[in-house]
């Protein structure tokens, strides 16, 4: 049996009057039960589009045009929309960035919390209502008995995000997709929410895709990390491996841009010069070429693939700087298979 979630060569395009733009291309990663993968990258790198592609929630002009998404050994892209709906909110749940606007202002918390359970678990109204209160207590919402009868506008952003988490967990999903769940919250609340998610995911063995552009959050939460740049995964590794040995020049640049405790006060934060190329005019060859400090002739001519670079652990990099090591790994595995 493979991993819980396998994303292979995912490509998602958006149609417009001007033609179609590829927002996500050649994105691949695996995720096991109970594991957390963080998707990191600058704004516009395709993190949300990847998540929405997995959930089948792309806007009407978006479409997955290539690749495969296997979840629990089912190919999600081959499911019909009604079949997909049975998974959504059930075994596949999602939390969004904006807690202030993600709850319906005219329906009670209880109503919104029980909706999924009534639909997917076939609970009676009383049972669902009881479980709603339990869920709110589980995520640390005080006065849960009263809150279920209240409307969202009475809750703070942090409380609403707790409600969203309770809602996402209401049907015990196998996979939870959280798209920047704490970006809109202030720092202390952010830490509480992340701790809550970590605890609940560990307790229920829920696999989590956590989208963020905060490397601090990555260090705190991730088992493994996929770094995205301009719609592609450029590096993927376990969290310790990635922080200890970042390989892709983009990842290295990202690492340099985080402030370190204890660093000299006048130590400048480096940021990567330049900006992400627009979808409409992706350069041929490597997409990072124009901002890369180590760019070579080859990078302008050929497109690098995401390949294994480590013989010991898993460390995939999309960069020609490592083509030597990648070739060695390849040779070793073929020899191993041959013998």
Ligand X SMILES: Nc1ncnc2c1ncn2[C@@H]1O[C@H](COP(=O)(O)OP(=O)(O)OP(=O)(O)O)[C@@H](O)[C@H]1O
| Member of 1, 106, 336, 338 binding other proteins (CB under 8 A) | 106
Rounded distance between C-alpha atoms, residue 153 and residue 165, angstroms: 17
Residue 291 binding other proteins, by CB under 8 A: no
Q: How crowded is the C-beta side of 328, counted as CA atoms within 13 Å?
A: 7
Instruction: Say whether residue 72 binds other proteins (CB under 8 A).
Output: no
Q: Should residue 48 be labelled a site residue for Mg ion when binding is judged by CB under 5 A?
A: yes
Q: How far is CA 292 from the centre of its chain?
A: 25
Q: Site for other proteins (CB under 8 A): which residue of 9, 74, 125, 153?
A: 153
Q: Give dist(CA 216, CA 224) in Å, integer.
A: 14
Binding characters for ligand X, 2-21, by CB under 6 A (x = yes): ------------x-------
Q: Indicate the length of the chain as a whole number.
A: 339
Q: 307, 326 in Cβ contact below 8 A? A: yes
Site for ligand X, residues 43 to 72, rule: CB under 6 A: 43-49, 59, 61-62
- Alpha-carbon gap, residue 288 to 231, rounded angstroms: 11
The binding track of 156-185 with respect to other proteins, each residue x by CB under 8 A or -, is --------x--x------------------
Q: Which two tokens stand for residue 313?
A: 């652990």
Question: Which residues, 184 to 223, sit near ligand X by CB under 6 A?
Answer: 213
Tell which one of 22, 103, 175, 221 touches other proteins (CB under 8 A): 103
Cβ pair 159, 105 in contact under 8 A: no
What percentage of the chain's residues is helix, strand, coil (to nearest 5)?
40, 20, 40
Q: Does 158 bind ligand X (CB under 6 A)?
A: no
Among 68, 86, 127, 223, binds other proteins (CB under 8 A): 86
Q: Which residues bind other proteins (CB under 8 A)?
A: 55, 57, 82, 85-90, 93-94, 96, 98, 101-107, 112, 115-116, 119-120, 151, 153, 164, 167
């Amino acid at each position: 049996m493979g991993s819980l979630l396998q994303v292979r060569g995912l490509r998602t395009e958006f149609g417009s009057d001007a033609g179609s733009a590829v927002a996500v291309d050649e994105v691949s990663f695996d995720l096991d039960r109970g594991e957390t993968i963080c998707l990191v990258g600058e704004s516009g790198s395709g993190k949300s589009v990847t998540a929405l592609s997995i959930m089948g929630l792309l806007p009407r002009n978006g479409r997955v045009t290539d690749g495969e998404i296997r979840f629990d050994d089912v190919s999600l892209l081959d499911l019909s929309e009604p079949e997909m709906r049975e998974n959504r909110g059930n075994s596949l749940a999602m939390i969004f960035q904006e807690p202030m606007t993600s709850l319906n202002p005219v329906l009670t918390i209880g109503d919104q919390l029980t909706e999924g359970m009534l639909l997917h678990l076939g609970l009676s109204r009383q049972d669902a209502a009881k479980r709603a209160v339990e869920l709110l207590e589980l995520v640390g919402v005080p006065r849960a008995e009263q809150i279920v009868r209240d409307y969202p506008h009475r809750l703070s952003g942090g409380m609403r995000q707790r409600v969203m988490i309770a809602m996402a967990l209401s049907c015990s999903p196998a996979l939870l997709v959280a798209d920047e769940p704490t970006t809109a919250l202030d720092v202390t609340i952010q830490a509480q929410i992340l701790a809550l998610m970590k605890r609940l995911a560990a307790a229920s063995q829920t696999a989590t895709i956590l989208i963020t552009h905060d490397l601090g959050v990555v260090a705190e939460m991730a088992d493994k990390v996929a770094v995205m740049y301009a719609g592609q995964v450029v590096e993927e590794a376990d969290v310790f491996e990635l922080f200890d040995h970042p390989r892709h020049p983009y990842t290295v640049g990202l690492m340099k841009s985080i402030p370190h405790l204890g660093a000299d006060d006048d130590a400048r934060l480096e940021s990567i010069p330049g900006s992400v190329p627009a979808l409409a005019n992706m350069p041929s060859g490597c997409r990072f070429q124009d901002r890369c400090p180590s760019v070579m002739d080859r990078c302008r001519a050929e497109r690098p693939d995401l390949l294994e670079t480590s013989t010991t652990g898993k460390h995939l990099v999309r960069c020609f700087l490592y083509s030597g090591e990648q070739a060695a790994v390849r040779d070793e595995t073929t020899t191993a298979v041959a013998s």
